[in-house]
Amino acid sequence: MHQIRLKLGLTSNRAGTTVFGIFAVLFMVFGLAGVFEPVETFPQIMRDRIRSVDASGDVVLVAVDNRSLSVGDPYPWPRSNYATIISSLDAAGANVIAIEIDLSGATSALEDDSLAVAIEKTKAKVFLEHRFSLDVSDRVDNFFPLPKFTKSAQLVNTNVLRDYDGSVRKAPYGVKVQGTIIPSLASVVSGNYRLEDSFFPIDYGINMSSIPTISAVDVLNDRWSPQSVKGKTVVIAGTASKEFSTHIAPGNSFIPKTMINIAAAETLMRGQPITLGSVPIMLLGIFAGGIHLLAKNRKLALTSVLSFSAIVILAPILMESYNVRVQIIPGAALVLVSFALRWFVAIKNQIFNSSRTDIESGLKNMTAIETTMISGVCGVAAFKCSNIDYVEHYLKDRVGEAYRAFSRAMEFVGAETYHGGHGIVVGVFPNLVNIQLDDTVEGLQKILRTIHVDSKPIDIIGTVGISDASGLSIKEKARLAIIASGQAAQNGEVFFRFEQSTAEKVDEEVSLSSRMETAISNRECEMYLQPKFKLSDQSLIGAEALLRWTHPEHGPMNPGELVVHAEKYGRIWDITKFGFEETSRFLSQLDVVCSDLVLSVNLSAKLLSRRDLPEMIIEIISQYGIEPQQFMLEVTETAALSTGDMSLQVLKRLKFAGFALSIDDYGTGSATMDYLKKVPATELKIDQSFVSQMEKSKSDAAMVRSTIQLAESLNMAVVAEGIERKSTVDMLRELGCYGGQGYYFSKPMNLSDAAQYIEGSYRNRATG
């Protein structure tokens, strides 16, 4: 069984859930601490407006209003006025009379007594105002009615509690004064008594204008209907805007204090207020937000949020009509957080997916392969469509269909597919290696000979690369499978398996190439010189510089392979520089005058396309004071052939600068007479493969002979390389070959040996 694990990082729902959990805890704590209460006001006002219920009508306000003060006596009214009003209300059959008027200070004895008598005579229950005020240092000043008023009346507290923003949201059940609790006006008027100094929320859903109100002056002047107070509770209070205090009730702006107290009384008359706080909606929010965040199905996610919203809007309205209150903000905010998180996760996933999807085909790309970790044994195959350019030309912007067709075929044989690059689809086969995979892939190749787009057949030329070596990551296997698919095409085979050994070779090559960079500075590289002779008298005419590298682990490296490798990995420029530096220094340090000695340096074909090659060489040799005439540059026949006009120009510039040119390995390529005429070389080097065999092979001998004749006709000197025997020297001399080089004369030697050899040879010449 293979497991597919998705490494999604922060984009996972799990991370979202954690963040959601943190917010849930935070909001729960904030909710309990009342942090959200200011915000809670707004939905509360909205709900109050929607619910708007009329007052019970059982509490009647007799208001000392603006009209009372303008038509009747000015403020403050003489207490006899209140006496008259109380008597009238009592006579009309009012049950309870609460006076929310300051009766604390004494006025004239006549006035005060008249009120005291009226209160005493009243059959209805009379309540008189107690109030307190706080000064800046929180010192309490109590205001009690004059004792003469309270003989047959009880005290009620009329204070309201202002919140941080000046609004009045709560009212007290009672207030503790000097050890005893004085009930609030609301408690007393409602008859819903709770003797404790705690608060309850005022229900502002009660429409203030529905509170039955009679102008005090009308009662005074007997221009009212006594019927309207029969059996009712009456509050006598001031509402005149200038003379009596007003407060802010949320959603109502400034209203007389007594309206707030009556609204509070009406609240209690509707039943005992129950405050559930923020927890119930919070729990609901955790549930709905959680579902919303985690639900794979978008419909379910949306349903949970919509249901939550409906509940949060409607349930409190319903509950408030039963005097039950909940706070919705922490829970609602949490659901908003879940919304934001889901949105954030969706955006992140989108970005994540788009960077892992090939736009043209819609297939997952090679980046996506990293996130799919199929553990256990698996093989990877890469299908490479060799004629993709043709397919692309044919399908134009619908080329994605071709990739999807390749992908379908791979999926058909059990692979998980990825877009692997131009014309390539990679398939990961869980549990499939070796022969099984070979069979599968062969089948795949057969399926993919033709694909159909719009029921039109398109011929596909495809190869498959396989990589199933153990111990590699899937991405690595995919990369190797792609290389193998190209290799298959190169080999002209249907498929090619990238073996471990091939993988190691590639690794080795790559590491070799980087190793090469330091090899020069570490002096692991050296130049050797192999002397070159004139065959007629066997005199020394020069020497060929040959690269030697002793790898610290692999030992001496094959120069031929090394050069090919250096060309492939772009190290040939440095190696060539090194060659010229070493040979120039060598010449500059020789102890004999040898201006006719010519050193041959091999030039890679790759370098001939570089315009700055002549400058590079000239700069180096001139640093050592060496003239170009002391160098011969060897270019292989094949190299010079395969290069274009640019190379020819570079060769001509080198020639013009004074360097001699030689065509190396002659005979292995297919240079024509025409070509030889074009290249300004003065020497032809017959490849050692002909020289070493010329005594035995007639054709090789014929080749050597014709080369010598050709060179003569072109005025070029012929040099034979790879001479290992005297007999070969004799035969070459007979054929008229000018020069020679080979183990017979001398093997390539290091520079100090070469210096001794050359110095010795020159001294002999001088003395001989």
Q: Which is nearer to ligand C2E, 129 or 721 (CB)?
A: 721
Residue 669 makes contact with ligand C2E by CB under 6 A: no
Rule CB under 6 A: which of 576-605 touch ligand C2E? 579, 602-604
Distance CA 243, CA 252 (A): 20
Paired tokens of 741: 């080089």
Q: How far is the CB of 665 from Mg ion (least distance, A)?
A: 4
Looking up tokens 């007629």 gives 536
Q: Which of 542, 551, 494 is nearest to 520 (CA)?
A: 551
Q: Which is nearer to ligand C2E, 543 or 603 (CB)?
A: 603
Q: How far is the CB of 492 from Mg ion (least distance, A)?
A: 31
The site partner of 471 among Mg ion, ligand C2E, none (C-beta below 5 to 8 Å per kind) is none
Q: How far is the CB of 608 from ligand C2E (least distance, A)?
A: 11
Q: Which is nearer to Mg ion, 189 or 601 (CB)?
A: 601
Q: How far is the CB of 547 from ligand C2E (least distance, A)?
A: 4
Residue 602 makes contact with Mg ion by CB under 5 A: yes
Q: What is the 3-state secondary structure (H, E, C) of 618-676?
A: HHHHHHCCCCHHHEEEEEEHHHHHHCCHHHHHHHHHHHHHCCEEEEEEECCCCCCHHHH
Distance CA 719, CA 535 (A): 9
Q: How far is the CB of 410 from ligand C2E (least distance, A)?
A: 45
Q: Which is nearer to Mg ion, 98 or 719 (CB)?
A: 719
Q: Which is nearer to Mg ion, 483 or 717 (CB)?
A: 717
Rule CB under 6 A: which of 511-530 touch ligand C2E? 530
The site partner of 256 among Mg ion, ligand C2E, none (C-beta below 5 to 8 Å per kind) is none
Q: Which is nearer to ligand C2E, 155 or 545 (CB)?
A: 545
Q: Mark the segment that binds Mg ion (CB under 5 A) among 94-102, 471-479, 495-503, 658-666.
A: 658-666
Rule CB under 5 A: which of 189-208 touch Mg ion? none
Residue 468 makes contact with Mg ion by CB under 5 A: no
Residue 740 makes contact with ligand C2E by CB under 6 A: no
- Among 748, 754, 755, 762, the residue binding ligand C2E under the rule CB under 6 A is 748
The site partner of 150 among ligand C2E, Mg ion, none (C-beta below 5 to 8 Å per kind) is none
CB of 35 closer than 8 Å to CB of 277: no
- Tell me whether residue 3 is exposed, middle or buried, using C-beta atoms within 10 angstroms of its C-beta: 0 to 12, 13 to 18, 19 or more: exposed
The site partner of 604 among Mg ion, ligand C2E, none (C-beta below 5 to 8 Å per kind) is ligand C2E
Helix (H, G, I), strand (E, B) or coil at 430: strand
- Among 665, 690, 708, 740, the residue binding Mg ion under the rule CB under 5 A is 665
Q: Which is nearer to ligand C2E, 159 or 583 (CB)?
A: 583
Q: How far is the CB of 445 from Mg ion (least distance, A)?
A: 43
Task: Tell me the C-alpha to C-alpha distance, in Å, between residue 335 and each of 29, 297, 308, 340.
Answer: 16, 17, 8, 9
The site partner of 254 among ligand C2E, Mg ion, none (C-beta below 5 to 8 Å per kind) is none
Strand partners, 156: 129
Rule CB under 5 A: which of 628-647 touch Mg ion? 634
Residue 634 makes contact with ligand C2E by CB under 6 A: yes
- Among 552, 560, 625, 768, the residue binding ligand C2E under the rule CB under 6 A is 560
Q: How far is the CB of 687 from Mg ion (least distance, A)?
A: 6
Distance CA 419, CA 480 (A): 15
CB of 262 closer than 8 Å to CB of 172: no
Q: Find the angle CA(635)-CA(640)-CA(643) to the nearest 5 degrees.
A: 135
Pairing of strands 683-686, 660-666: parallel
Q: How far is the CB of 554 from ligand C2E (least distance, A)?
A: 16
- Tell me whether residue 766 is exposed, middle or buried, using C-beta atoms within 10 angstroms of its C-beta: 0 to 12, 13 to 18, 19 or more: exposed
Pairing of strands 631-636, 598-603: parallel
Binding mask 140-169 for Mg ion (x = CB under 5 A): ------------------------------
Q: How far is the CB of 675 from ligand C2E (least distance, A)?
A: 19
Distance CA 249, CA 259 (A): 9
Q: Which is nearer to ligand C2E, 331 or 722 (CB)?
A: 722
Q: Which is nearer to Mg ion, 485 or 602 (CB)?
A: 602
- Tell me whether residue 316 is exposed, middle or buried, using C-beta atoms within 10 angstroms of its C-beta: 0 to 12, 13 to 18, 19 or more: buried
Distance CA 519, CA 516 (A): 5
Q: Mark the segment that binds ligand C2E (CB under 6 A) among 257-265, 502-510, 545-553, 753-761.
A: 545-553
CA 15, 16, 21, 27 dihedral sign is positive
Q: How far is the CB of 608 from Mg ion (least distance, A)?
A: 15
- For 48-102, give the DSSP string: HHHH-EE--S-EEEEEE-HHHHHHSPPSSPPHHHHHHHHHHHHHHT-SEEEEES-
Q: How far is the CB of 634 from ligand C2E (least distance, A)?
A: 6
Q: Mark the segment that binds ligand C2E (CB under 6 A) among 152-160, 460-468, 490-498, 717-725.
A: 717-725
Q: How far is the CB of 542 from ligand C2E (least distance, A)?
A: 13
Q: How far is the CB of 614 from Mg ion (least distance, A)?
A: 19
Torsion of CA 513, 517, 523, 526, to 10 degrees: 60
Distance CA 543, CA 545 (A): 7
Torsion of CA 330, 331, 332, 335, to 10 degrees: 120
Residue 349 makes contact with ligand C2E by CB under 6 A: no
Helix (H, G, I), strand (E, B) or coil at 252: coil
How many secondary structure helices (H) and strands (E) does the chain include?
Answer: 27, 36
> CB 593: neighbour CB atoms within 10 A?
9
Q: What is the 3-state secondary structure (H, E, C) of 119-167?
A: HHHCCCEEEEEEEEEECCCCCEEEECCCHHHCCCCEEEECCCECCCCCE
The site partner of 722 among ligand C2E, Mg ion, none (C-beta below 5 to 8 Å per kind) is ligand C2E
Q: How far is the CB of 467 from ligand C2E (least distance, A)?
A: 33
Q: Mark the segment that binds Mg ion (CB under 5 A) among 260-268, 602-610, 649-657, 676-684.
A: 602-610
Q: Which is nearer to ligand C2E, 290 or 739 (CB)?
A: 739
Paired tokens of 319: 């509950």
Q: How far is the CB of 741 from Mg ion (least distance, A)?
A: 9
Number of residues that bind ligand C2E (CB under 6 A): 23
Residue 559 makes contact with ligand C2E by CB under 6 A: yes
The site partner of 656 among ligand C2E, Mg ion, none (C-beta below 5 to 8 Å per kind) is none
Distance CA 643, CA 639 (A): 6
For the chain, the maximum distance between any two Cα atoms, rounded to a whole number of angstroms, is 164
Q: Mark the segment that binds ligand C2E (CB under 6 A) among 321-329, 349-357, 364-372, 738-746.
A: 738-746
Binding mask 647-666 for ligand C2E (x = CB under 6 A): -----------------xx-
Q: How far is the CB of 633 from Mg ion (least distance, A)?
A: 10
Distance CA 720, CA 700 (A): 12
Q: Which is nearer to ligand C2E, 451 or 671 (CB)?
A: 671
Q: Which of 339, 444, 427 is nearest to 382 (CA)?
A: 427
- Among 257, 742, 755, 758, the residue binding ligand C2E under the rule CB under 6 A is 742
Torsion of CA 596, 754, 745, 640, to 10 degrees: -60
Contact residues for ligand C2E, defined by CB under 6 A: 530, 545-547, 559-560, 563, 579, 602-604, 634, 664-665, 688, 721-724, 741-743, 748
Contact residues for Mg ion, defined by CB under 5 A: 602, 634, 664-665
